[in-house]
Amino acid sequence: MARRSGQPLTRGSPEVYFGSFLFSFPLRPAGLLTTFTINVIVVISSIANIFLCIMSPILCSVLCHASAGWIADPVTDELYLVNPSALLTWHQARTSCQQQYGDLLSVGQPHEHTYLSGLTASLGTLLWIGLNSLSSESGWQWSDGKPLRYLRWAPGNPSPAPGQNCAALNSNSMSRWESSACSRKLGYICRRTNSTRVPTTDPGEKLDHISKSWAEAKSVCRKDGGDLASIRSIEEQAFIISQLGYLSTDKLWIGLNDHRIPQLFEWSDESAVTFASWELGEPSHHSTLKEDCVLMRGEDGKWADDECEKQYGFICKKKATFSSGGGTAVSAGCKTGWTRHGSFCYNTGPEIKTFEEAKNACESKDSRLVDVSDRCTYENAFLTSMVGLRPEKYFWIGLSNTEQRDTFVWTNTRTVRFTHFSAGMPGQKQGCVAVMTGTSAGLWDVLSCDSQERYICKHVAEGVEPTTAPPTSARPSCPEDWVPMGNRDFCYRHYNRQENTRKTWFEARDFCKAIGGNLLSIHSKYDLSQREDYSEAWIGLNALDPNAGFVWSDGSSSSYENWNTGEPNNFKGVELCVEMLRDYTWNDFHCEAYRDWICQIRKGTNLSLRYNVTEDGWTVYNGSEYYLNTEVLAMEDARHYCQERSGDLVVINDEKERLFLWKQIHDERRNFFIGLTVDLDKTFQWMDGSPVVFAAWNEDEPSFTNNDENCVVMNPSLGFWKNVHCGQPLQSICKRSSGSPANTTLAPTAAPKGGCAPDWKAFQGKCYKLVGDIASDKKPWAEARTYCINQGGNLVSILNKKEQAFLTARMIDVSADMWIGLSSLNDWWRFLWTDGKAVKFENWGHSQPNTLGFVRFHKCIFACFSDFSVCSKYYNTQAVPSTTAFSNSYQKFGNSSFRVVAEKLSWEQAHQRCKEDSAQLASIPDPMAQAFIQLKTLKHGSLWIGLNSNKTEGYFKWIDNWKFQYTNWGEDEPKSDSPCVLMDTEGKWKTEPCNNTYSFVCKHSSGPIPTDPPMHPGTCPESTLYRTWLPFRDHCYSFEGSTYDKWGEAVVQCMQIGGSLVSIMDPAENEFISSHLSFLYQDSYKFWIGLYKNHRGKNQWLWHDGSVVDYTNWNVDQPHANHHCAFIDPMSSKWSSYRCIQYGHRICKVRKGKRSDGNNVFPFEAELTSANSLNIKNTTIFCRHNE
């Protein structure tokens, strides 16, 4: 234990200690403490300088090498330590630097940045620096207290996203700075400096409320022998706020500017920049607005940069002049030696005393230990200017928590409206409070009440009339779902959410502020009168500012505490925000954790601001009108919606407008399109051509996960932006000028002009190119897309049936299927065109897309697998359009030739005209021929084709005897009362009376015509006691009349025995089935057949086994429009539609088969024995109906 020599000393004389100490010294790597036992002599001088005489060769050796790893700047002699391999949070990194007698890096000059760029260029990583916006009352600041006067932000930084409060140097990006969440684990850079704080002399300053531009204000000050004010210390800042008549509504120019060197702020009087006090979110230094001059504004006189041409008041400063008369200044209403501020007089005690002794000393002078009544009187700022430069470290003020650890009170009142604790305070410490001086001037610390410190007394000035409290009026009530606080004019609400909608502390704070309140602050145990058993929730208490203690986010005092046992403990140095536990106690926790949250609002706050609304429902705000379109549309359709109503997708020009819009959408679940587009180089522009003067990207945005997210949305959770695929159906926000007409007629879209390059094919304003004839051109989907983009286009998007027909017809020359631009890369449950077009047309193949249960979609769509790809782009306006010659001769397509005859004839006349050419009315054997003829309908209208059931034994069969293996019937087709068939302009086949007249298409076939194969002689499965198989032609049939199933269940039952629910191909097969039904079952009950109407918007009748519908046998007035499944009636042999969820018997059908060894084999059994076997009994079949 050390002994103090001599008698008790005052701080006015040196203090000398000697003895043996255990000395812990931090060694690299950071955090490792080495302990030595040494003999020392400590001398504390009158100005608090400490001299340490070391009597240990071991420690001397350690100290001599303490700078190992530090690098000195040869120009400035500043020391830097770069640790790129560490993985520490921002706060942990700062602690490591402080343990090595430094701090995280601050940068104040361009040459410092240049030196650091060279020092870190090869590292290729992010490194923490000391820049942060952790104070809830200030803007960006350096952790070592250096003024923020030089800016080197990377583009898009600092991010406005919640929680992006710490800055890192990106050595991959010219050492520019990026904002980030402080909890990220990165390397870091420390800086050590030998500079000391230089006191400033008393200024002579004058405040002028006459509005002038910055240059005009500077000229006025210089004419008076001074300059715009330079503020070089916290004491000078406090002096201006507290003693020059500053008002909280003031906006006043000061001398700081960056005219000489952009982004390097300097004082106009050329004095050194030694202090800064930026407002929250400042300096923004928006380049578009040229914010090159600085003003002081707001309740605390914080600084912000602004446009120099704006008109504000200003503060002048010149050297003080002193009279030669000497003597002690006397403040009006105060005793000699006391200083007046507002209605009170203040005096510092001449000697050091304990807290109780200081209290008694003030009372003996008819005064009291000073109390700080509230923020609005700037009393703490006055005290800072009064004692901030004094050599003593502390001055007692009248605050303590000696009666109750959890509550601080003043010596003269229990009401505490303002506190200003230093780092780590109060943190459950019990004692008395003193205001600090020096670099921590104005902050409060909790000390032992027995400490010997100087003190400050306060009394009411003579002549000041006591103020009377205003008469109390009826208190307003709380909104619905909000609870009144016990002793305060506030209401609170616990937002109890599901896991996926909880918020971080930063998100919760911003949410509460956006609705007009803040996170909850608690000032007594009576504040919360009721609270249900909710889970843990964020409150406003935090210790984010590394230079201050726990503060409430609403700026209220930290005079009350209710910590849980052992808290706050700042576990692992990352617990800087506070949650309320179920038992009302508090726990410090990781700010980025997701929790419920509790907001507070003042009673009477209008939560939902009322804005004027136009007759057509648009909200009026700040000279513009806005409309939330909740219909989900792709971007191009959403924009068209806005334009039809005299507007456009919204352009957002500032933070106020963003917040206004967020308040309108924050209860929604979907994102909203805005009018911004983003290119792959991350440049962005508004669709209407407005300049981009504001951006509010969410964290890690804009991102390009799949390189096709070119549109931008506002997220309702926090109102920030992200880029998305333009084809996603989403809600949108429209904007128009006030007074715009409710509707407008858009000019018709002009036909595109121009043409295509020689190797591209033109169709309806676009150019197409098929790629893949050469082996090197066969590419995976992503590479095919890149190829098309490099050609100035993209993989093709197919927007309608006409484009589908054009591309299908082109496939006649292609030996494989082709990639198109549809994928589910952006959304597992939705396919989108990669060029951002809306999905308005689909033409899926059989059983595509694969959407059953847990099975993922195939990511890329082709027709159906692909070595080829199709690129498309819009016309080149410089190219000369090609002319298309129409010929009346036959046109070769594949192995056939076609001719369209424009003359309108009946079906029979058309048939005869084709025969005159040794041709037939066209048969359509496949989708390519279908597409080729459909393209002809675009010019000639509907065309007769070669189907006429009167010519082919009562059912539909091609008159040229081509095998009937492809159909494209229209809705509710074919009808039994019209035997002749045409193709309409949509490509659909429709039955028509044969005497109607239409143009027609003839076909001449070359080579053999494919026909139906001969009957297969195989055998049926072996019959059992429970199932009998009956043969007919090349199939076998099982009539199951003992059970009743829904149609979907009947399908599954037939599949389980290797067959399918029966399809009926012609009258003979229908007669075979009906004869057995009438013989076996005479109860006229329904038997399901495999015919059903599809659910994809086409309303086509299809056979479940994939057979074409070339024969029907509907009963009178059948099928019914609202029924989707079919049965055969045993009594009439006719078919009727029925609701699929009703019950009926079933008929199963299976194809005959024979192995080479003579044993029977059936199609489904063959599948079961293949390598990719599937057990149908363990397969779930999902059926759907719309009835």
- pLDDT(359) > 90: yes
Considering only residues 184 and 964, tell me which one the structure prediction assigns the higher pLDDT: 184
| Of 431, 436, 440, 423, nearest in space to 551 by CA | 423
pLDDT band at 57 (very low <50, low <70, confident <90, very high): very low
| Of 338, 311, 613, 619, nearest in space to 456 by CA | 338
Cα separation, 479 vs 477, in Å, equals 7
- pLDDT(324) > 70: no
What domains appear along the chain, each with residue ranges and CATH number?
3-64 (no CATH), 73-192 (3.10.100.10), 203-319 (3.10.100.10), 339-460 (3.10.100.10), 483-602 (3.10.100.10), 632-737 (3.10.100.10), 769-874 (3.10.100.10), 891-1005 (3.10.100.10), 1030-1178 (3.10.100.10)
Considering only residues 368 and 21, tell me which one the structure prediction assigns the higher pLDDT: 368
Looking at residue 1160, its pLDDT comes to 40
pLDDT in tens, 1106-1143: 899 989 999 988 999 889 999 998 878 899 999 999 99
Percent of the chain with pLDDT over 70: 81
The angle formed by the CA atoms of residues 328, 334 and 339, to the nearest 5 degrees, is: 60
Cα separation, 1033 vs 1015, in Å, equals 6
- pLDDT(327) > 70: no
pLDDT in tens, 887-932: 468 898 888 999 999 999 999 999 999 999 999 999 998 888 999 9
pLDDT in tens, 66-81: 456 888 888 888 899 9
Q: What is the rounded average pLDDT of the residues 346-354? A: 94
Return phi, psi of residue 231, to 5°: -115, 115
Report in angstroms the alpha-carbon separations of 927 from 156, 435, 966: 51, 87, 8
Report in angstroms the alpha-carbon separations of 810 from 485, 875, 888, 988: 74, 19, 21, 19
HEC profile of 761-788? EEECCEEEEEECCCHHHCCCHHHHHHHH
pLDDT in tens, 209-227: 789 999 999 999 999 899 9
Looking at residue 1079, its pLDDT comes to 53
- pLDDT(1167) > 90: no
Taking a C-beta distance cutoff of 8 angstroms, is the pair 94, 576 a contact? no
Taking a C-beta distance cutoff of 8 angstroms, is the pair 822, 835 a contact? no
Looking at residue 102, its pLDDT comes to 92
SS3 assignment, position 129: strand
Report in angstroms the alpha-carbon separations of 757 from 765, 768, 794, 874, 876: 13, 10, 15, 11, 8
| Of 337, 314, 115, 112, nearest in space to 227 by CA | 314
pLDDT in tens, 124-147: 899 999 999 988 778 899 999 899
Which range among 102-106, 831-835, 1084-1088 shows the weakest confidence by mean pLDDT?
1084-1088
Cα separation, 451 vs 393, in Å, equals 12
Looking at residue 468, its pLDDT comes to 63
- pLDDT(746) > 80: no
Looking at residue 525, its pLDDT comes to 86
Which range among 343-357, 407-421, 881-895, 905-919 shows the weakest confidence by mean pLDDT?
881-895
Looking at residue 428, its pLDDT comes to 80
pLDDT in tens, 1055-1073: 998 999 999 999 889 988 8
- Mean pLDDT for all residues in the chain: 81
- pLDDT(1163) > 50: no
How many CB atoms are located within 10 Å of the residue 453 CB? 20
Looking at residue 9, its pLDDT comes to 36
- pLDDT(803) > 80: yes
Taking a C-beta distance cutoff of 8 angstroms, is the pair 191, 171 a contact? no
Looking at residue 204, its pLDDT comes to 65
Q: What is the rounded average pLDDT of the residues 256-270? A: 92
Report in angstroms the alpha-carbon separations of 33 from 27, 86, 148, 210: 6, 18, 33, 59
Q: What is the rounded average pLDDT of the residues 614-635? A: 92
- pTM to 2 decimal places: 0.52
DSSP assigned state of 569 = -
pLDDT band at 884 (very low <50, low <70, confident <90, very high): very low
Report in angstroms the alpha-carbon separations of 773 from 778, 814, 815, 817, 863: 8, 8, 8, 12, 16
Which range among 379-383, 464-468, 572-576 shows the weakest confidence by mean pLDDT?
464-468
CA atoms within 13 A on the CB side of 978: 16
pLDDT in tens, 145-159: 899 999 999 887 888
Looking at residue 879, its pLDDT comes to 55
Considering only residues 457 and 60, tell me which one the structure prediction assigns the higher pLDDT: 457
pLDDT band at 731 (very low <50, low <70, confident <90, very high): very high
Cα separation, 860 vs 873, in Å, equals 20
- What are the residues whose beta carbons fall under 8 Å from the beta carbon of 689, sequence distance 6 or more? none
DSSP assigned state of 503 = B
Cα separation, 125 vs 187, in Å, equals 8
Cis bond upstream, residue 1119 (ω within 30): yes
Residue type present at position 929: A
pLDDT in tens, 1009-1055: 776 555 567 888 887 777 888 888 889 999 888 888 999 999 999 99
Residue type present at position 560: Y
Percent of the chain with pLDDT over 90: 40
Looking at residue 1155, its pLDDT comes to 36
What does the radius of gyration of the chain's CA atoms come to, in whole angstroms?
42
Cα separation, 961 vs 1009, in Å, equals 7
Cα separation, 638 vs 376, in Å, equals 49
Q: Which two tokens stand for residue 404?
A: 């109750």
Q: Per-residue DSSP letters for 230-258?
A: ---SHHHHHHHHHHS---TT-EEEEEEEE
Cα separation, 521 vs 531, in Å, equals 15
**Burial classification of residue 1026, based on how many CB atoms lie within 10 Å of its CB (0-12 exposed, 13-18 middle, 19 or more buried):** exposed
pLDDT in tens, 441-464: 889 999 999 999 999 999 999 988
pLDDT band at 29 (very low <50, low <70, confident <90, very high): very low
Looking at residue 489, its pLDDT comes to 87
- pLDDT(82) > 70: yes
Looking at residue 249, its pLDDT comes to 87
